[in-house]
Amino acid sequence: MKISFHGQACIKIETAGKTILVDPFISGNSQSDLIAENEQPDFIAVTHGHDDHVGDTVKIAKQSGATVICNAELADFFSLQGVQNIAGMHIGGKRTFDFGTIKLTQAFHGSSTVVDGQFIDLGLPNGFVFTIEGKNIYHAGDTGLFSDMKLIGELQPLELAFLPIGDNFTMGPEDAKIAADFLKAKKVVPIHYNTFPLIAQDGAKFTASLSEGIEGVKMEIGEEIHV
């Protein structure tokens, strides 16, 4: 499979003729190399309801017919906006799709938005474990460090993990290094940093700090890796 990074927490997974777009914050994101109007994924996976993760989900889902995978509250929110194909799930649940399986993991963060001056709670944030082509890929979403990351790595040995390092709103580099030790993924990619000044971090310094046996991969915007 081929996985590419597109700024903030947005990644694209391409496998066996299927494309999965995760947290498509494209419009208004100076770090993104994508054009929302051009995207035609088969699936969109959204970790939580903040604008820098929901991004262009509704627009892309409507133009592509993609199935949106998210928590149940977000599923209702997207349905009210006219999204037709939605797979609502919740933390701990696993479901099979054309590309493989996806399991929702806990994340420690918030999940909300404001519409017409009205605050809307959008359920619990989550991460994802994708099992594709027999390999487990973990996208942590926005989260702080938590000790049950050890269980995530023990229950499904991880080929690759995407971890936020921006600090302030999520883990910083020091806690993300501990998370990498807990997860024991073969490769770790930093995400959710440098999109704006408050979350500026040195991705190369983080990857170089990882423990022996864990390969740190600092992906540039638009860069692809094969897993």
pLDDT given at position 27: 97
pLDDT recorded at residue 57: 98
Please identify which residue in the block is written with the tokens 């020091």: 174
Q: What are the structural domains, with CATH classification, of the chain? A: 2-226 (3.60.15.10)
Give phi and psi for 101, each to the nearest 5: -120, 160
Give the model's pLDDT for residue 86.
Answer: 98
Block mean pLDDT (10 aa), the chain, length 227: 98 96 97 98 98 98 98 98 98 98 98 94 98 98 98 97 98 98 98 97 98 98 97
pLDDT digits (tens, 9 = 90+) for 42-63: 999 999 999 999 999 999 999 9
103-134 pLDDT, tens digit per residue, is 999 999 999 999 999 999 999 999 999 999 99
pLDDT at residue number 209:
98
CB 60 within 8 A of CB 24: yes
**And the tokens for 9?**
């927490």
